[in-house]
Chain A
Amino acid sequence: MQSSSLYIERNSGLHALHPLTKLALLGLCLVLAFALPDIRWLLAAFGLLLLPLAAWGRILAPFARSGFSIILPFVISLALIQGFFAGGDTALLTLGRFAFTWEGLLAGLTVSARLLVALGGTLLLMLSTRPDHLMLALTERGLPQALGYIVLTALQIFPRFQDRARVILEAQQARGLETQVNLLRRLRLLVPLIGPLILASIVDVEERAMALEARAFSRPGQKTSLISLHDSGFQVLLRTGLLLAALALIVWRLLPLVRA
């Protein structure tokens, strides 16, 4: 029933960074993920930059756990699909007319490593930053307040909706919804389940809107914030540095293309 996000409360330097600083770090990671030339560089970036940062943030275990469980299906899909279909001469295994090649496997693993670096940057931000602090940082920089409201509210209410769905499902399981093989029949059983779920929640919308109005939500004029995010001159400098590094990487990768 609690808010659903990856955030883990810890007393760490990473947690104390301004959300925009961590967002800039994510920006650099995304550029690294797609600009670094090969798998050794990518794994080095992960091992020498992201893992130490996670350790600094005291979130190494959840970082590794989430990272592993999210990246694993990609590694499997990519290794198999690229291994069989990306071509190459060094066949490791042959299945009928399809050869599983070393070159294909490497290509698959390289893409996996790219995704790992991108995912790592995302996880660092999400594990160490409260979603409301992230939204506050963005609203302070001009993101419409309404968008922040939508994201935060959705994050907080959807676990409750999942609970409702689960309750409905459990009530219906006796009727053989899961064991029903025929897809059309399963669908026909599903619709009467989700209909009431949707209708009940939509009817609440009016009262929720009134409650927001009563809290001066649509009052015109400047709004303030109880929480203030800690920022510093050093962090401004750091953010600039991170973004410049990302820019430099892009230029470094694009330069040969321009020359050619």
Chain B
Amino acid sequence: MNGFRKEFSTLTLVLIPVAIAINVAIGQLAITLKLPLYLDSIGTILVGVLVGPWAGAITGFLANVVWTLSGLFPQAIAWAGVAAIIGALAGAFGRAGWVNSWSRAALAGIITGFVAAILSAPIAAYVFGGVTGTGTDAVVAMFRSAGLDALGANLGQGAVSEPLDKAISFVVVWAVMLALPLRFKNRFGNVEE
């Protein structure tokens, strides 16, 4: 609990809603631009890397609560736990120094993406009957037609989309961290420089 307390200064509390707003704004941007990516967890990953695993987890969880409450994507709440784990992983990778170079950041993203895929698939398979109600359902259908069951097809879909999405998100966060003033980064202290 000590680490938890340390991460939650007023500054962190203010940072988290801003990060959630970044998730939503860039996620919607990706949709508008018809990118085959979600890009809806950049804020979550940023908080994880900058502040730490606890703050990252809370950001991920509450981001999905906000997606639901806003009415933009009501089913998001079902994946809130997965989003929390993405944030926590970002915190751990940040603390381990993986986000100090773009290549390791990308690797951290790929690993996080696979974890996210594995955790998300059972939710889609068992809560939502094997779909997510989004465009990626076409990919799920493809895997089903190849003979996979609901869980397998959703795993397959996740394994295709998530690692690339999270790798790009981590690299964006790496770039943002480079651009942030040292004075600001020092206020949080998850990353040793």
Contact = CB atoms under 8 A, between A and B. Distances in A.
A adjacent to B, CB under 8 Å: yes
Interface of A: 4-6, 66, 70, 73-74, 77-78, 80-82, 84-85, 98, 107-108, 111-112, 114-115, 119, 122-123, 126, 131, 146-147, 149-151, 153-155, 157-158, 160-162, 164-165, 169, 177-178, 183, 186-187, 190-191, 193-195, 197-199, 201-206, 208-209, 212-213, 217-218
A197 B134 contact: no
Contacts of B182: none
Contact of A158 (B20, B32, B42, B74): B20
A195 B131 CA distance: 33
A148 to B, nearest CB: 10
A177 B129 contact: no
A115 B129 CA distance: 9
A177 B132 CA distance: 28
A126 B71 contact: yes
26 contacts: A73-B134, A74-B128, A77-B133, A77-B137, A81-B140, A85-B141, A115-B128, A150-B16, A150-B62, A151-B69, A153-B14, A157-B17, A158-B24, A165-B26, A169-B33, A177-B33, A187-B35, A191-B172, A193-B29, A194-B29, A199-B176, A202-B176, A204-B18, A206-B11, A206-B187, A209-B10
B105 to A, nearest CB: 14
The interface residues of chain B, by DSSP majority, are classed as helix
Q: Nearest 9 CB-CB pairs, A to B?
A: A111-B129, A154-B17, A153-B17, A158-B21, A77-B131, A154-B20, A161-B25, A6-B71, A161-B21
B29 A122 contact: no
B62 A147 contact: yes
Given A73-B134, A158-B70, A161-B21, 9 more contacts: A5-B71, A77-B137, A154-B63, A154-B66, A191-B175, A201-B22, A205-B14, A209-B10, A212-B13
Interface of B: 8-11, 13-18, 20-22, 24-26, 28-29, 32-36, 42-43, 46, 58, 62-63, 65-66, 68-72, 74-75, 128-134, 137, 140-141, 144-145, 168, 172, 175-176, 179-180, 184, 187
A190 B22 contact: no
Contact of A212 (B14, B21, B70, B129): B14
Contacts of B29: 165, 169, 190, 193-194
A17 to B, nearest CB: 18
B130 A178 contact: no
B145 A150 contact: no
A70 B74 contact: yes
**Most chain B CB atoms below 10 A, which of A77, A157, A161:** A77
A206 B11 CA distance: 7
Contacts of B43: 198
Given A81-B141, A131-B69, A199-B179, A190 B15 contact: no
B33 A158 contact: no
A197 B129 contact: no
A157 B137 contact: no
Contacts of A153: 14, 17
A195 B176 contact: yes
A246 to B, nearest CB: 17
A82 B69 contact: no
Given A154-B62, A154-B66, A199-B180, A194 B14 contact: no
B133 A74 contact: yes
A162 B180 contact: no
Given A147-B62, A165-B28, A209-B10, A157 B18 contact: yes
A201 B179 CA distance: 13
Contacts of B65: 151
